[in-house]
Amino acid sequence: MNWDPLVELVVTLLGPMSLAGLIFAVSLYINLSRRLGTVTKMPPHYRWFLVGNGFLVLALGTSILRRAAYLSCREEVTFLITPAFGLFLFHIPLFIGTTICAITTWRYWSWLLTGEHESPEK
């Protein structure tokens, strides 16, 4: 199926935009978790969000690079759109980053679902 180039360009931009939105949401969690940790005297586990966000930024940069290589149709950059390149520099960092952020989010905010709050003495 042949796509209209304008439609292909718009669809190509949606992936990086969604990753940028995820990075922004994690940045909000960093700030909120830091404040919650200060109030409840929890250890600064929110710093793990920074590690997770670093992996997400790597995935975002790789996504932009791969999409630009795909749209350019140049032979010099075909290695950027190979499955191995995508696996090691996009999918694995994306998985690691979202896993770290999900675990850290659960650590800080699980009390909203369970109704239990960890005391600082633990």
- Give 28-53 pLDDT, tens digit per residue: 999 999 998 899 888 999 999 999 99
The count of domains in the chain is 1
- The three-class DSSP label of residue 59 is helix
Q: How confident is the model at residue 71 (pLDDT cuts 50, 70, 90)?
A: confident
Print the domain residue range for 13. Answer: 5-111
Residue 120 lies in a domain: no
Residue 116 lies in a domain: no
Residue 94 lies in a domain: yes
Q: Is the pLDDT of residue 14 over 90?
A: no
pLDDT of residue 72: 86
Residue 27 lies in a domain: yes
Residue 78 lies in a domain: yes
pLDDT of residue 1: 53
Comparison of pLDDT for 72 and 56, the residue scoring more: 56
pLDDT of residue 118: 59
pLDDT of residue 87: 96
Place of tokens 């600082």: 120
Q: How far apart are CA 98 and CA 10, in angstroms?
A: 25
Residue 105 lies in a domain: yes
- The three-class DSSP label of residue 121 is coil
Q: Is the pLDDT of residue 78 over 60?
A: yes
pLDDT of residue 119: 53
Q: Is 43:66 a contact under the CB 8 Å cutoff?
A: no
Buried b (16+ CB within 10 A) or exposed e, 101-115: beebbebbeeeeeee
Residue 82 lies in a domain: yes
